């Protein structure tokens, strides 16, 4: 083989390895509040116009997929991505993997969260299952910041639709004790980017499907207030993009 071609081939392999995607289980051991269930995750495709996209139902094995930025253009910033889907599915392709690849192109490491969807059959308290996963994911990224070449004070969260609600919930409830954790590692995002988010669970301004899936048909006033994120103090750098979801 021509030495120059061989060198180029070797360089390409190593560049790929440096930016290789890695998906791993979110929880090292027992998943908090998990119930024994015969339900398993379901993968299907849907369509937006002429494009097919992947969607996941009944998540029982939450995971984090890492897209570290290449060393050549890494900024040291990172974003945890929460795909949307009304707390019923995860639109994990166009609101997850594709976004991660775009962030990589501008030097930002990305982490796509496959979070548990609220379901009484697989968790003791479905209202906090997604928040448990989001807190754990942010702490995991911060704990391993050096490994991924990330500044621990430049880690944000991005969410779409119901994933925007989860990102907002993490932004205001990052310190809530929803599972036992290492208290030396904060789950506080340094910035938040919400795209067409569900922010409130108050009547007339909420997305009913997301609200019902997370809290059930008859939530208490306390539950509604807790997950109406506009009623809580927001962190600095909280950004709303596009129009908010309303009834539907």
**What would the pLDDT profile of 196-239 be if each residue is shown by its tens digit?**
999 999 998 899 999 999 999 999 999 999 999 988 876 445 55
3-state secondary structure at position 131: helix
* CA separation for the pair 177, 149 (Å, rounded): 28
Residue 141 φ/ψ, nearest 5 degrees: -65, -45
Instruction: Give residue 16's pLDDT band: very low, low, confident or very high (50, 70, 90).
Output: very low
- Reported as half-sphere exposure (CB side, CA atoms, 13 A), residue 72 has a value of 9
Q: State how beta strands 155-160 and 192-195 pair.
A: parallel
pTM of the model: 0.85
Strands of the 51-57 sheet, one edge to the other: 42-48, 51-57, 89-90
pLDDT attached to residue 6: 39
Percent of the chain with pLDDT over 90: 70
Q: In sequence order, what are the residues at sequence separation of 6 or more whose Cβ sits closer than 8 angstroms to the Cβ of residue 71? A: 18, 149
Domains observed in the chain: 3-241 (3.40.50.1820)
Q: Which residue has the higher pLDDT, 58 or 36?
A: 58
3-state secondary structure at position 96: helix
């Amino acid at each position: 083989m021509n030495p120059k071609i061989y060198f180029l081939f070797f360089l390409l392999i190593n560049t790929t390895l440096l930016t290789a995607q890695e998906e791993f289980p979110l929880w090292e051991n027992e998943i908090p509040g998990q119930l024994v269930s015969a339900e398993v995750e379901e993968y299907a495709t849907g369509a937006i116009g002429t494009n097919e996209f992947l969607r996941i139902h009944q998540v029982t094995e939450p995971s984090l997929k890492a897209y570290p930025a290449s060393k050549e253009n890494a900024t040291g910033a990172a974003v945890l991505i929460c795909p949307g889907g009304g707390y019923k599915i995860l639109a994990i392709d166009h609101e997850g993997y594709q976004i991660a690849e775009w962030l990589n192109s501008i030097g930002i490491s990305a982490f796509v969260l496959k979070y548990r969807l609220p379901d009484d059959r697989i968790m003791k308290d479905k209202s906090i299952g997604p928040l448990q996963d989001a807190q754990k994911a942010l702490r995991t990224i911060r704990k391993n910041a050096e490994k991924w070449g990330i500044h621990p004070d430049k880690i944000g969260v991005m969410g779409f639709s119901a994933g925007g609600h989860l990102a907002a919930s993490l932004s205001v409830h990052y310190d809530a004790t929803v599972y036992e954790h290492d208290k030396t590692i904060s789950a506080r995002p340094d910035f938040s980017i919400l795209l067409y988010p569900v922010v409130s669970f108050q009547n007339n301004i909420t997305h009913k499907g997301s609200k019902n899936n997370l809290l059930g048909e008859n939530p208490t006033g306390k539950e509604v207030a807790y997950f109406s994120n506009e009623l809580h103090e927001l962190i600095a750098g909280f950004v709303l993009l596009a129009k908010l979801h309303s009834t539907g």
